[in-house]
Structure 1
Amino acid sequence: MPPAILPAPAPPPPRRVPDRQPWIRSAGFDGFWILAPPFLALLAVAALPPALRTGSQMPLWTWLSLVVFIDVAHVYSTLFRTYFDRTRRRRFRTLLWAVPLACYAAGVALHAVGGGFWFWRVLAYAAVFHFIRQQYGFLRLYSRQEAANRFSRHLDTVLIYAATLYPLLWWHLSAPRHFNWFIEGDFVQRDWPAGRLGLTVLYAALLLGYLVKETQQVRRTGQFNWPRNLLLLGTAASWYVGIVLLNGDLAFTLLNVVAHGIPYLALIWTTSQPAPTAAGPAARTWWQGRYGVLAFVGVLLGLALLEEGLWDGLVWREHAAVFGWFQHLPAVSDSALLTLLVPLLALPQATHYVLDGFIWRRGA
């Protein structure tokens, strides 16, 4: 009797690679300090009274909290990755003195040409570029472990730029809003409804294409990149709500500043901590010890208050209730003196924008 022919054994199921998420530090740290801020800001905006969501008013305490303690303070955090860092101070020694000098010279020239108009316009567009590039930088960090094809990588890049540029272009093609970047008229604006509609259609098509791409990628690999997708969602939602959906100074500032400043501060902090070596813990500087967080925050808040006090005492004269001591300074109204003073007061900001393009490069 011939032996029975047994069926071939079934092949083992494909082995899935563990779904490791590309956190910068950890799920908890990244989730709260880098990815959550735009969503928390959206919740805060939703809780605002209607008049503050869509009007030009901004209470003093919100201005102090958002503009001074986050926006201005985050500018000075660059110090901890440059001038306060011994290794990078040696590596970038030429850049660290050349950039401030060049920024100040350019600022004086721009202020002299247009009585301040061109200075603030150029600074506004430099700030916009800085904000956009930060989101792109986070995208690259959260995509660094993916073995995606070229089309997927390009689509991710296009979407992170579109998530910021679409609201900005929509703003440029709309009537004046209840908010500005720095001063009234610093952006070029032309009310063009057809242009806004065309941008919206293109943006919606891009979002749909990205959704299809992500769905197919999950089906193929069984993995979902949580930090990258939360970054894209938070960026798209906060920029759209703050600029397009709502028309309020407080709503725009809250979404703009929190979604940008808090993640930047977190990134500076976590990437500036010394990594342990084979010989033991790395040497710590004055702001990396037991009370390092207090030193870090204290320096930033102190410098932010000092800068804004000088602005208010010498130039703006708008917040005497906060900067009473600085009201004893002489208010500067002479155009020649302002041409020298305004670029000097804005120098930390301008230097921050330029240096940021160098200090995050690979190996920096």
Structure 2
Amino acid sequence: MRQAQPWIRSAAFDGLWLLSPPFVALLLVLLLPTHFRTSAQMPVVGWVVLVVFIDVAHVYSTLFRTYFDSTRRREQQRLLWLVPLGCYAAGVALHQLGGLVFWRVLAYLAVFHFIRQQYGFLRLYQRQEPTQPHRWLDTVLVYYATIYPLVYWHLSAPRNFTWFVEGDFLQHDWPTGRLLATLLYVTLLLLYLAKETRQWLLYRTFNWPRNLLLGGTAVSWYFGIVYFNGDLAFTLLNVVSHGIPYLALIWISRSAANTGTHRPLGQIYAIVGFLGLLFGLAYLEEGIWDGLVWREHASVFNWFQHLPAISSPTLLAWLVPLLALPQATHYVLDGFIWRRPKPVTA
């Protein structure tokens, strides 16, 4: 009997939008000129596509599972008010301690969010598997496949890329620590390979989506952070592997009130509207950032250069947390909006 696979929607949809992005991103990186894999160079077009239209856009897609969903607005009203208010208050307090303190905390919050997304997908692809003693290895591996590259990064000299800003990660060059972390990673990979081989030999079972997820996680994080040392390579692998699956999951899980018609033309209009709104919000946010704070991409945000550049530390302490509020809120809310409701007991 053919083994049923635990696809979230279908083999075609999951394969294209949820599981293939890390492998496609790696292929694109390998096709890049060598200097993009080994330097801090980031072409403007690459920055716009990756940072604005994927990374920032995926932040705003959370709106479709929260504030744009009338049922969730009603059921989670307190959460949807308290999270942004709490994030802003915490952001202002952190920025008062220093701009780098604010960005460092936000960077580690983002890292936690990125790691937990992979664990969440793992749980979805494990949902039809019986609870077995070796299942812990899947969880350990999906976490360490993300944590190991971060440990390697923290124990290296400054690299040609950052998460948000220069110095946001604490770093100390310690080759021995990197070696120990690598040996542990290799050990876990070998244990997992042995476990999967045993499962196949004994039961002829192989969970394709779970293994593709773990493989993609390992590929995107290892090659993006450890193997390559280029800003474009890191951003491409990091953003594509995280943002596109998130956007796809939001799309297929949106409430019935937002599904629109099932006719092909209606679906096309719905997708265009969905992405168009996200791209517009992302462009607007980044334009305001560039006009008021960064002043780095005048060619992309020409109109926003008419805004006054803010340099006052006092004003920045209130402004920067406000501009970063969409992503901070996204990171925190994401820990709640995917939880399954607990069954009601009689």
The TM-score bracket by the shorter chain reads over 0.9
| Closer, same or farther: CA 285–209 of 1 in aligned 2, 3 Å | closer
State the Cα deviation string for residues 242-288 of structure 1 (Å, max 9, x = none): 111110000000000000000000000001152xxxxxxxx546799
**3-state secondary structure, aligned to 1:184:** coil
C-alpha distance in structure 2 between counterparts of 1:321 and 1:112, whole Å = 32
Which residue in 2 is equivalent to 1:185? 167
Which residue in 2 is equivalent to 1:143? 126
Q: What is the one-letter code of the residue matched to 1:306? A: L
- CA drift at 1:238: 1.2
Equivalent residue for 2:235, pick from 234, 237, 253: 253
Q: Where in structure 1 do 4 or more consecutive aligned residues deviate above 3 Å?
A: 283-290
Equivalent residue for 2:151, pick from 169, 178, 182: 169
- CA drift at 1:222: 1.1
> Which structure has the larger Rg?
1
Taking structure 1 as the reference length, what is the TM-score of the superposition? 0.91
C-alpha distance in structure 1 between counterparts of 2:248 and 2:194, whole Å = 32
**3-state secondary structure, aligned to 1:154:** helix
State the Cα deviation string for residues 79-110 of structure 1 (Å, max 9, x = none): 00000011111111000011000000000000
Which residue in 2 is equivalent to 1:40? 24
Asked if 1:264 is matched to 2:246, the reply is yes
Which residue in 2 is equivalent to 1:104? 88
- CA drift at 1:363: 2.6
Equivalent residue for 1:52, pick from 30, 36, 46: 36
Which residue in 1 is equivalent to 2:142? 160
Which residue in 2 is equivalent to 1:199? 181
Gaps of 5+ in 2: none
Equivalenced residue count is 338
C-alpha distance in structure 1 between counterparts of 2:157 and 2:261, whole Å = 47
C-alpha distance in structure 2 between counterparts of 1:316 and 1:253, whole Å = 19
C-alpha distance in structure 2 between counterparts of 1:153 and 1:133, whole Å = 17
Q: What is the one-letter code of the residue matched to 1:333? A: S
**Higher fraction of helix:** 2
C-alpha distance in structure 1 between counterparts of 2:317 and 2:259, whole Å = 38
Q: Kindly indicate whether the alpha-carbon contact (under 8 Å) linking 1:287 and 1:296 is maintained by their aligned counterparts in 2.
A: no
Q: Kindly indicate whether the alpha-carbon contact (under 8 Å) linking 1:136 and 1:157 is maintained by their aligned counterparts in 2.
A: yes
Gaps of 5+ in 1: 1-15, 275-282
Among all aligned residue pairs of Structure 1 and Structure 2, give the percentage whose two residues are the same amino acid. Answer: 70
C-alpha distance in structure 2 between counterparts of 1:109 and 1:168, whole Å = 27
Q: What is the one-letter code of the residue matched to 1:342? A: V
Asked if 1:21 is matched to 2:5, the reply is yes
C-alpha distance in structure 2 between counterparts of 1:142 and 1:221, whole Å = 18
Equivalent residue for 2:213, pick from 216, 223, 231: 231
